[in-house]
Amino acid sequence: MRGYLLVVMMLTCAALAGCTEARQAVGLAAEPAGAPPLAQARILMREVDETGSPHATPLKNRDGSPLLLKEPPLVSTADVALVALGVDGAGQPVLNLQMTDAAAPRILAATQARVGRRVAFSVGDRVLTVATVAGPFGKAMQVAGLEDAGDAQRMYTEITGQAR
């Protein structure tokens, strides 16, 4: 349960751009912000179906309770450019996802239309977290609610094929 109580699903593009501009301004080489996902990683972010539609995809939530998810997904593996391990302000492990330039406007529109609604982020058939969209995002997102640093590392490796 604690896994999805603390969920942050938004990084601001301005913060990311500011970091990039600051690095370039002082002449430092830009470091890769992570690794691209494997094509077979099956990253999906879908809206939770609160009405019980027969067309929803059933999965189990982290606590084992049934969860119905709307299709099509708001985010899929093809939309993700880079994945990185990180920690949030409370020191909890997170996955930071940077979206492709092509996907960002579509994701922004989809999340603007879903502020206040619940979404589930899954890798394969495992729901990592369920959160309420606090505000629109398009270029980047942060997935919190992972059990511990080991869980975050396992998810990073499953998504990217790389150990860190």
Domains of the chain by start residue, with CATH: 2-20+36-160 (3.30.1360.200)
Structure tokens at 11: 């990084």
Tokens of 19: 């970091």
pLDDT digits over 87-140, tens only? 999 999 999 999 999 999 999 999 999 999 999 999 999 999 999 999 999 999
Residue 3 has pLDDT above 50, yes or no: no
Mean pLDDT of 4-21: 31
CA-CA distance, 16 to 162, in Å (whole number)? 23
Q: Residue 37: what are its φ and ψ, rounded to 5°?
A: -75, 155
Residues 6+ apart with CB under 8 A from 86: 93, 94, 95, 96, 142
